[in-house]
């Protein structure tokens, strides 16, 4: 009963100190100017700060340019199927609470083919950081309309412009029951992006971060002026929000004070159209986490299992 | 509301058994509208019999809807129970006796050729005096018709007898019928009482005693009012036995394999595996995850497997179709995984509650690209237990998904088998968290066997990114086409390496002759019973039964070459030459026949159908007789 619990995988805290290089692998093969590069360095920096043990960390992705991300990390990685990163990541975490799990997904991956899993993953609220690389286009397959493309987007599937309004990933996530952390940032403000992902990594549940991302090849003009114009973003600021260096915070011209425990205001601000709201929309650390259920009966010994099974078989005896 | 007893009598069965006829086997059916408890009644009869040492096989008769309209011909719900002195391996042929709670449900079974001349029909007679004229007429017509068809019709006052004991005969009539059948077949009433107490264990003592009264009354009524009764002598049991259906056996197998996760989405007839697990799994350190769909179910299982806990996903036809992309990934990235497919009728939604063996080729070839994986099929309920344990072992040894096939007949059939003695070696070993050997790739394929060892997250130095893209030994994305050829060779070589460890299938009968039948899956019992009869008649017929489908067991071509004719017996579709448009050139063969023809270059023929019914020994015997005479 009190014997060795082999599957708890408790490895003693390492004495090693990990540097940024410990989280890097091969050179990223994204296009020059792709937002992916700056996200990658932010994430590696956070891994270092959190001193995640590389072998205890798994980056799970789907398929897309963004989903190549795990190949560039020095941790374990799972580059799986288009749209299916969430179930895989949830399955990894379910019986391995000792692993740090990240999900890297694209706007097509998450909001189109994987939309069903997205809804349920939010509801499972398992501890993992989710980074939605939203470039409003299908990158890897060369410029098709994405569910987050603005209406009128000219693409190879809609040469005359797309005809439907886009999904709002923040509003959608806020609408799913048991949502517990919803934040937004942009790839052209590395300091804000870093602070946002950092906050997500500290969250004890499913931390959803949409990163508004530039695609210099297929959506060259989409954020070109926005990235240069400080008026194009609106900072959601609060003492319980994203921790920004005051010097950085000062660079934002438009600021709204928003308490991230207020889901109604969060939903209101998710609809802001005259600028890109960035910051923490909503956080709730009290929501039930499905991984607690998943781990509740870990560590039974073979002797315990055998005894329980023999007792069950007794009930089926002749 | 509780179904209270009006006149508690407290009597135990009194009737004495006289002039019992001894039979070595019998087939009983109970048919009714849904919700009348016919299945509970039949399962109980089966259990009591198994506990007495009789061989038993049950087949559920399930309508497609939960509550189809009452008294409808298609709505028949019920069960067939075959009881024998020896081990029973299949549903048998025509029923010897059928209990019907109304006359309409019987038509469907008659159309399915379930009865023969002389089959005794014990039918509820309350319809003869029903307040509605058209029902009285329907009943009268049916009785005339059943008699004309040769059934030995006995009209039984079931409702009237039950109403002597309870206010609502609808609740409890099945227990009265169980008592009646116990009387007819000389079942041990102590075991019967135990059974009834078990069924109602969560109910009040009042309800239990009310049902026990009905049981006794049915028993007495049979002995006092029917001129026939039987003995079915039982075997002396020298080993402990357990009684369960195939899905329960698969659930037990999962637990005994040390699998910790069953990730599923509900689908008939696979779901009850997860029901049984949901009830018991947590006591042995496991959990059922009900996913949002079948794709997520297998993805979740794959995640757990990747993280070192080889998982199970269980499904049926339409669900298997959805899982194919992930199965391909598991093959490509060499992720151990157990997939159970409890086959039902197809394609599409097909016949959800009926048996078919039509997924064999989908199981073997269902993925795009070349995706070899181990595929095997259970042929008995006992194998449903042991094969799950084997499946996990094979999945981990060969670093591959393993597909285990079952079907509705095994899933819902109840049979006793020797009680397994839980072996600690069956359980998965604790996951390896030791440091990974430096320099070894995540796919360091052995040139000999294609097998490689996999790093598990947590293993220091083993960090790799698993990918469904073509990849080299170090799991690096392959930009060189040679790597794709080489990795495909290694994945295929694993199947060959496993095949080298398999034994030739055992031949049931002589190793040469006029006809060899080849079966797979749940048809084993029917085929072997038919072959035994044919051999008694002096026909030179033998059979083999395959368990492994990919890779195939060795020696098949050699075995086939010693028979004048080789024919598969299967529950899947094949064309018949002579039907409109069908020629020997365009004819589509049944699945195993097709596969064996390609594999052995032997002119393998097939005997197959998709009536949704289990194969009966009589049909196989008739086929053998025709075939050998030809
Ligand atoms: C089942 C399936 N369908 C389609 C594809 C082709 N495909 C690959 S990536 C992709 C879209 C990628 O867009 P997004 O998710 O936005 O990622 P990005 O490349 O923009 O980062 C598509 C359609 C696929 N790999 N699998
Ligand atoms: Mg995109």
Asked, for residue B342, whether it belongs to a domain, the answer is yes
Of the three residues B187, B211, B231, the one that is the final residue of a domain is B231
How confident is the prediction for chain A on average, in pLDDT? 94
Asked, for residue B12, whether it belongs to a domain, the answer is no
Q: Which ligand is nearest to the CA of A106?
A: 1
Asked, for residue B25, whether it belongs to a domain, the answer is yes
Quote the pLDDT of residue A13. Answer: 54
Domain of residue B360: give its range: 242-421
Which residue, among B191, B257, B300, would best test binding to A if mutated, counting the most A CBs under 10 Å from its CB? B300
Do B216 and B257 fall within a single domain? Answer: no
Do B365 and B402 fall within a single domain? Answer: yes
Quote the pLDDT of residue B19. Answer: 80
Of the three residues B175, B208, B231, the one that is the final residue of a domain is B231
Query: Which of A11, A81, A308 is facing B329, going by the closest CB pair?
Result: A81
Of the three residues B501, B527, B560, the one that is the final residue of a domain is B501
Residues 6 or more apart whose Cβ sits within 8 Å of residue B238:
none
Asked, for residue B236, whether it belongs to a domain, the answer is no
The mean per-residue pLDDT over the stretch B558-578 comes to 97
Residue range A18-289, CATH number: 3.40.50.970
Do B376 and B448 fall within a single domain? Answer: no
CA gap B33, B37 in Å, rounded = 9
CATH number at residue B54: 3.40.920.10
List Cα–Cα distances, A52 to A19, A193, A194, B464, B472, in angstroms: 10, 19, 16, 16, 27
Quote the pLDDT of residue A81. Answer: 98
A11·B433 Cβ contact <8 A? yes
Do B530 and B477 fall within a single domain? Answer: no
Quote the pLDDT of residue B10. Answer: 42
* H/E stretch holding A151: none
Do B480 and B388 fall within a single domain? Answer: no
DSSP line for B434-484: SPPPTT--TT---TTT-------TT-TT---EEESS-B-TT-PBP-SHHHH
Quote the pLDDT of residue A12. Answer: 54
DSSP line for A233-254: EEEEE-TTS----HHHHTT-SE
> Which ipTM value was assigned to this complex?
0.95
Low-confidence winner among A175-184, B70-79, B93-102 (lowest mean pLDDT): B70-79
What are the domain boundaries of chain A?
18-289
Asked, for residue B621, whether it belongs to a domain, the answer is yes
Q: Is the pLDDT of residue B12 over 60?
A: no
pTM over 0.90: yes
CATH number at residue B358: 3.40.50.970
**A149 touches ligand 1 (CB under 6 Å):** no
Do B246 and B195 fall within a single domain? Answer: no
How far away is chain A from the Cα of B596, in angstroms, using its nearest Cα? 34
| pLDDT tens digits, B241-274 | 999 999 999 999 999 999 999 999 999 999 999 9
| pLDDT tens digits, A226-257 | 888 889 999 999 999 999 999 999 999 999 99
Asked, for residue B439, whether it belongs to a domain, the answer is yes
Quote the pLDDT of residue B531. Answer: 98
Do B181 and B92 fall within a single domain? Answer: yes
Span from the CA of A54 to the centroid of ligand 1 (angstroms) = 28
Looking at beta carbons, which residues of chain A come within 8 Å of B427? 302, 305-306
Do B470 and B522 fall within a single domain? Answer: no
CA gap B381, B379 in Å, rounded = 7
Query: Which of B237, B263, B285 is facing A297, going by the closest CB pair?
Result: B285
Q: Which ligand is nearest to the CA of A105?
A: 1
Do B414 and B437 fall within a single domain? Answer: no
**A82 touches ligand 1 (CB under 6 Å):** yes
The count of structural domains within chain B is 4
CA gap B302, A128 in Å, rounded = 17
B50·A318 Cβ contact <8 A? yes
Span from the CA of A209 to the centroid of ligand 2 (angstroms) = 15
Do B101 and B157 fall within a single domain? Answer: yes
Asked, for residue B508, whether it belongs to a domain, the answer is no
Do B292 and B208 fall within a single domain? Answer: no
The mean per-residue pLDDT over the stretch A67-93 comes to 98
A91·B301 Cβ contact <8 A? yes
Quote the pLDDT of residue B629. Answer: 84
Do B28 and B175 fall within a single domain? Answer: yes
């Amino acid at each position: 009963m009190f014997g060795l619990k082999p599957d708890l995988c408790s490895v003693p805290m390492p004495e090693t100190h990990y540097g940024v290089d410990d989280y890097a692998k091969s050179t990223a093969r994204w296009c020059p100017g792709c937002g992916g590069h700056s996200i990658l360095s932010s994430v590696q920096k956070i891994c270092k700060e959190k001193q995640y043990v590389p072998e205890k960390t798994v980056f799970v992705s789907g398929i897309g340019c963004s989903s190549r991300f795990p190949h560039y990390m020095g941790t374990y990685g799972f580059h799986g199927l288009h749209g299916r990163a969430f179930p895989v990541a949830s399955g990894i975490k379910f019986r391995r609470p000792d692993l740090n799990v990240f999900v890297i997904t694209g706007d097509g991956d998450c909001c189109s083919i994987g939309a069903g899993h997205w809804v349920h993953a939010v509801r499972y609220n398992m501890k993992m950081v989710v980074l939605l690389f939203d470039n409003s286009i299908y990158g890897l397959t060369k410029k098709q309309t994405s569910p987050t493309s603005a209406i009128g987007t000219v693409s190879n599937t809609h040469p005359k412009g797309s005809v439907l309004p886009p999904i709002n990933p923040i509003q959608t996530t806020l609408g799913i029951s048991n949502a517990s952390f919803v934040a937004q940032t942009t790839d052209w403000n590395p300091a804000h992006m870093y602070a946002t992902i950092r906050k997500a990594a500290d969250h004890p549940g499913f931390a959803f971060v949409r990163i508004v991302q530039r695609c210099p090849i297929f959506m060259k003009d989409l954020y070109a002026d926005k990235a240069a114009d400080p008026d194009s973003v609106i900072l959601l600021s609060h003492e319980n929000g994203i921790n920004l260096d005051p010097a950085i915070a000062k660079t934002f011209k438009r600021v709204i004070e928003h308490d991230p425990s207020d889901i109604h205001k969060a939903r209101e601000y998710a609809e802001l159209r005259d600028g890109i709201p960035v910051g923490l929309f909503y956080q709730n650390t009290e929501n039930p986490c499905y991984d607690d259920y998943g781990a509740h009966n870990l560590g039974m010994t073979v002797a315990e299992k055998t005894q329980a099974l023999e007792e069950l078989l007794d009930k089926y005896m002749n | 509301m509780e179904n209270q007893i009006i006149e508690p009598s407290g009597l135990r069965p009194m009737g004495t058994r006289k002039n019992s006829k001894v039979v070595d086997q019998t087939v009983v059916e109970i048919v009714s509208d849904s919700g009348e408890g016919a299945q509970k009644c039949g399962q109980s009869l089966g259990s009591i019999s198994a506990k007495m040492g009789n061989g038993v096989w049950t087949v559920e008769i399930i309508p497609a809807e939960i509550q189809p309209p009452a008294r409808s011909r298609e709505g028949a719900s019920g069960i067939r129970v075959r009881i024998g002195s020896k081990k029973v391996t299949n549903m048998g042929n025509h029923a010897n006796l059928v209990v019907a709670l109304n006359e309409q449900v019987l038509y469907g079974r008659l159309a399915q050729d379930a009865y023969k001349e002389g089959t005794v029909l014990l039918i509820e007679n309350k319809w003869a005096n029903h307040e509605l004229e058209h029902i009285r007429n329907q009943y009268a017509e049916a009785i005339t018709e059943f008699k004309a068809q040769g059934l030995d019709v006995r009209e039984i006052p079931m409702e009237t007898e039950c109403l002597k004991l309870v206010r609502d005969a609808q609740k409890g009539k099945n227990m009265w019928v169980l008592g009646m059948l116990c009387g007819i077949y000389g079942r041990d009433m102590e075991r019967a009482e135990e059974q009834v107490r078990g069924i109602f264990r969560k109910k009040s003592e009042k309800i239990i005693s009310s049902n026990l009264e009905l049981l006794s009354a049915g028993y007495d009524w049979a002995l006092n009012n029917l001129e026939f009764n039987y003995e079915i002598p039982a075997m002396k049991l020298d080993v402990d036995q357990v009684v369960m259906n195939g899905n329960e056996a698969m659930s037990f197998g999962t637990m005994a394999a040390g699998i910790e996760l069953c990730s599923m989405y509900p689908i008939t007839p696979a779901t009850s595996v997860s029901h049984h697990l949901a009830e018991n799994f947590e006591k042995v350190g496991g959990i059922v995850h009900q996913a949002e769909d079948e794709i997520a179910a297998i993805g979740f299982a794959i995640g757990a497997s990747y993280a070192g806990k080889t998982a199970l996903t269980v499904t049926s036809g339409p669900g298997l179709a959805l899982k194919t992309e992930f199965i391909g990934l598991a093959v490509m990235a060499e992720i151990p995984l157990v997939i159970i497919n409890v086959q039902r009728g197809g394609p599409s939604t097909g016949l959800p509650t009926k048996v078919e063996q039509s997924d064999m080729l989908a199981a073997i070839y269902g993925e795009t690209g070349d995706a070899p994986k181990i595929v095997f099929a259970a042929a008995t309920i006992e194998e449903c237990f042991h094969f799950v344990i084997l499946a996990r072992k094979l999945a981990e040894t060969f670093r591959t998904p393993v597909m285990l096939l079952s079907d509705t007949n095994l899933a819902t059939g109840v049979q006793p088998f020797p009680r397994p003695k839980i072996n600690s070696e069956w359980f998965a070993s604790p996951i390896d968290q030791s440091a990974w050997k430096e320099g070894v790739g995540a796919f360091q394929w052995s040139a000999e066997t294609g097998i490689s060892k996999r790093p598990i997250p947590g293993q220091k130095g083993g960090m790799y990114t698993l990918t469904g893209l073509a990849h080299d030994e170090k799991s690096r994305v392959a930009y060189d086409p040679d790597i794709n050829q080489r990795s495909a060779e290694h994945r295929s070589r694993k199947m060959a390496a496993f095949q080298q460890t398999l034994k030739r299938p055992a031949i049931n009968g002589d190793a040469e002759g006029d006809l060899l039948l080849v079966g797979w899956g749940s048809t084993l019992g029917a085929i072997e019973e038919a072959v035994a009869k044919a051999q008694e008649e002096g026909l030179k017929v033998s059979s083999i039964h395959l368990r492994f489908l990919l890779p195939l067991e060795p020696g098949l071509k050699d075995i086939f070459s010693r028979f004048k004719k080789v024919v598969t017996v299967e529950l899947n579709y094949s064309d018949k030459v002579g039907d409109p448009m069908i020629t020997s050139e365009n004819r589509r063969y049944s699945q195993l026949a097709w596969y064996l023809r390609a594999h052995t270059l032997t002119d393998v023929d097939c005997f197959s159908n998709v009536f949704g019914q289990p194969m009966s020994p009589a049909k196989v015997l008739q086929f053998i007789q025709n075939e050998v005479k030809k």
